[in-house]
Amino acid sequence: MKTRLHTRVAPAVLTALTLAGCALGPDYRRPDVTLPPAYAADAAAVPAAGAPTTVSPTWWRLFGDPQLDTLVDTALARNADLLQAVARVEQAEALVRQANAAQWPSLDLGANAARGRTSGATGLPGGGTVGNNFRLAASTSFELDFWGRLRRASEAARAEALASGYAGEVVRQTVAGLVAQAYFSLRMLDEQIVLTRETLKTREEAVRLLGVRLQGGASGRLDVDQAESLRADAALQLRELERQRSLAQSQLGLLTAQPGLELAGGRLQTLPLPPVPPAGLPSELLARRPDVRQAEQQLVSANAQIGVAKAAMFPQLSLTGLAGGESAELSDLLKSGARIWSVGFGLTLPLFDAGRRAAQTEQAEARQREVVAAYQGAVHSAFKDVADALANLRAARESQADVEASEKAALRALQVAQQRYDVGYSAYLELLDAQRTANTARLRTVDNRQAQLAATVAVFKALGGGWVDPVVAASQP
C-alpha cells in the first residue's frame, strides 16, 4: 500500500510543480510618458567653472551656516513625520517577509493528552471503559503556487516595501527643505526687524525735532502729525514682524521636535548663494526623484495584484502531511508501534460566488489604471517642479541688479532730500516720501536675497536632492 501511494503521489507532485512556473496577470511594463526635450529656464542653472555638476546629498551645508546645519540634522533625526515614515518602511519590510514565507511549507508540532470514558450503551466492544490517549505529531502543509498567486502577492509586497522606502526619502527631503525655507524666512525677518527698528528710531527722532520746531514756530502742526503717523506705522510694522518671527521660530521647533526653540537673531545677507548644477536631461529626472520612483513601485504593486485576483478564480492545490505517535500510555508514545502518519492533497475549486472574484479582478484592473494615471501625474509634476524652480531662480537672479540699483538710488535721493529739508529748500512731505522710498528699497533687497535662497533650495529639491536610488546603485558594478 505504501508503494502504491508513493507511485501515485510522485507524478502528481512533479506535474504540479512543473506547471507552477506560470503566473497569471500582466507582467509590469513602464507606461509611456511624454517628456519635454529640455527645461526652458535651465540657463539659470549653468554652473561656474569648478562648480559641482550634481546636487550634493547634504546640500544645506553649501549655505555655510552652522546653525542651519544643526537644525536640518536635528530634524532628520527627530522629526515626527520622518519617524513615522521609518516605521512604515519597517512594516512594509515585515509584510515582504510574510508574503515570501507563504511560498514555503509550514511545519507545526501538536501535542494532546486526554482521559475519558466511552459509552457502555452502544453495544460496541470495549464500551464503558475509561482510558487515556496521548498524541504527539508534526504536521506540514504546502500550497502549490500553480497559478502564481503567492508569487504575485510577494511581488506586490516587495513593490510596496520599495514604495515605502521611497516615500520615506520624500519625507526626508521635504523636512530638510522645510527647515531650510523656514530658517531663511526667519533670517529675512531678522533683517527686516533691524531695518524697521532703525526706521522707527529715525521717525521717533523726527517727531521729537518737529515738536521742538513747532514750539519755535519753524514747523506746522501738519508736519508733526505726519511724522507721528509714520512713527506709529513703523511701530505697528515692527510688532507684526516680531509676531511673524515668533511663528517662524515655532515652525522650526516643530520641524526639529524642539518645542520652545529659541534662536538668536542673525543676518540673511551673509549667507552665500551656492552654485546650482544644471538640470540635465528630463529623462534623467525619473531616476533622481524618489516621489516618481515611489509612484512607479505603487504601479508595480497594483499590476501584481491583478495576478493575485485572477489566480483566486482558479483551483488551489495544497499538500498536507502528518507524522508522529499516538498511544494510550505516555511511555509508549515514542515507540515504533505508536507511529502514525498521513499524506494527502487538498483541492479548492471555485464553483459559484455570485461574481465576487470577477468583481475583485475588475477592481484590481481599475486600481491599476488609477495608479498609471497617478504615475504619469507624478512625472509631470516632477518636470513642473524643476521648471518652476529654475524660473523662480532665474527671475530672482535677474532682478538682483535692479533691486540693488534701486536701493542705492533711493538712499542717494534720501540724502539729497534730507539736505534740502535741512536748509529749508523743500517741505517735510518731500523728505517723508524719500524716507518711504528708501525703506521700501532696502526691504526689497532683503526680499530678493531671501527669494534667491528659497529658489536655490527649491531647485536642489526639485532635482532630487542628491538622492541616489539604492536599488540602482546596488545593481551597478
For the chain, 477 residues long, give each residue's pLDDT as a single digit of tens: 443 333 443 343 334 444 445 789 899 999 988 877 766 655 444 455 556 778 899 999 999 999 999 999 999 999 999 999 999 999 999 999 999 999 999 999 999 999 888 777 777 777 778 888 999 999 999 999 989 999 999 999 999 999 999 999 999 999 999 999 999 999 999 999 999 999 999 889 888 888 887 887 777 788 888 889 989 999 999 999 999 999 999 999 999 999 999 999 999 888 899 988 887 777 788 888 999 999 999 999 999 999 999 999 999 999 999 999 999 888 888 888 889 999 999 999 899 999 999 999 999 999 999 999 999 999 999 999 999 999 999 999 999 999 999 999 999 999 999 899 888 888 778 888 898 899 999 999 999 999 999 999 999 999 999 898 887 777 665
Q: What domain count does the chain have?
A: 1
Taking the C-alpha atoms of residue 363 and residue 347, their distance in angstroms, rounded to an integer, is 26
In a domain, 5, yes or no: no
Phi-psi region of 354 (alpha: psi -120 to 50; beta: other; left: phi over 0): left
Taking the C-alpha atoms of residue 389 and residue 336, their distance in angstroms, rounded to an integer, is 79
Residue type for position 142: F
In a domain, 116, yes or no: no
Residue type for position 401: A
In a domain, 358, yes or no: yes
Taking the C-alpha atoms of residue 431 and residue 417, their distance in angstroms, rounded to an integer, is 5
In a domain, 208, yes or no: yes
The helix (H) or strand (E) run that includes residue 137 is strand 130-144
Contacts of 136 (CB under 8 A, 6+ apart): 109, 110, 111, 112, 324, 325, 326, 333, 334
In a domain, 342, yes or no: yes
Q: Is 323 helix (H, G, I), strand (E, B) or coil?
A: strand
| Number of neighbours of residue 194 by Cβ within 10 angstroms | 15
In a domain, 204, yes or no: yes
- Looking up residue 415, the CATH number of its domain turns out to be 1.20.1600.10
Taking the C-alpha atoms of residue 374 and residue 387, their distance in angstroms, rounded to an integer, is 20
Taking the C-alpha atoms of residue 233 and residue 238, their distance in angstroms, rounded to an integer, is 9
- All cell numbers assigned to 110: 501538536
Chain centre distance of CA 405? 41
Contacts of 355 (CB under 8 A, 6+ apart): none
- All cell numbers assigned to 231: 512713527
Would you say 115 and 135 are in contact if contact means Cβ atoms under 8 Å apart?
no
Chain centre distance of CA 421? 59
Would you say 37 and 282 are in contact if contact means Cβ atoms under 8 Å apart?
yes
Residue type for position 208: R
In a domain, 85, yes or no: yes
In a domain, 360, yes or no: yes
Taking the C-alpha atoms of residue 189 and residue 265, their distance in angstroms, rounded to an integer, is 9
Domain that holds residue 98: 18-111+134-467
Taking the C-alpha atoms of residue 319 and residue 344, their distance in angstroms, rounded to an integer, is 6
